[in-house]
């Protein structure tokens, strides 16, 4: 009877683990997001980055994350790199149309951080949120991951 019960239990564990992996929907860098979301806003976007650290009541002092918006040439057009604080910056509609990429940099710390990057129109309610984890590489603090790409065409921002 014990072998039958143990076998059944192991089957359930494997089933739940498989379901958890399939439902993550993560891409190459481990970030989760919905694809092809469109935000239309005449003034631009507000991009906010917050994070948590396991067993920490003050994650901003344990880990410092920054984000940048890079154009297709890899040049930063928005750089959110305040000292030891959650990040929030605007991406103005006056910037050129084109393809942009948002990257998160693990600037300082030694713990894995669970981040939430939220992008919304400055005048609207549509949002795009990307959640994931980032830690330092062990050799230096400046681990950088590409989180999401979007195309700006006039007042329309399409996330891929």
Tokens, residue 35 = 């694809």
Domain map (residue ranges) of the chain? 27-159
Q: Tokens in use for 98?
A: 């084109």
- 27-159 folds as Immunoglobulin-like (2.60.40)
pTM of the entire structure? 0.74
Distance between CA atoms of residues 67 and 134, nearest Å: 12
Using CA atoms, how far apart are residues 157 and 43, in angstroms rounded to an integer? 12
Write down the pLDDT at residue 108.
86
- Along the 160 residues of the chain, how does pLDDT read in single tens digits? 444 454 443 443 333 333 332 233 333 344 444 557 999 999 999 999 999 999 888 898 889 999 999 999 999 999 888 666 899 999 988 889 999 999 999 988 888 999 999 999 999 888 999 999 998 766 555 788 999 999 999 999 999 9
Measured CA to CA, the distance from residue 73 to residue 83 in angstroms comes to 26
Candidates 146, 114, 145, 116; CA nearest to 128 is 116
Measured CA to CA, the distance from residue 67 to residue 102 in angstroms comes to 7
């Amino acid at each position: 009877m014990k072998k039958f019960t143990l076998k059944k239990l192991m089957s359930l564990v494997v089933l739940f683990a498989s379901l958890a992996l399939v439902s993550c929907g993560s891409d190459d860098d481990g970030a989760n997001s919905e694809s092809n979301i469109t935000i239309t806003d005449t003034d631009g976007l507000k991009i906010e980055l917050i994070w948590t650290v396991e067993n920490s009541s003050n994650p901003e002092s344990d880990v410092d994350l920054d984000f940048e918006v890079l154009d297709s040439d890899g040049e930063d057009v928005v750089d959110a790199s305040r000292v030891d604080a959650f990040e929030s910056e605007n991406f103005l509609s006056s910037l050129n149309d084109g393809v942009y990429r948002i990257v998160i940099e693990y600037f300082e710390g030694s713990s894995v951080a669970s981040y939430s990057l939220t992008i919304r129109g400055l005048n609207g309610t549509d949002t795009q949120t990307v959640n994931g984890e980032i830690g330092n590489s062990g050799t230096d603090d400046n681990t950088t991951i590409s989180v999401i790409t979007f195309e700006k065409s006039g007042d329309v921002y399409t996330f891929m």
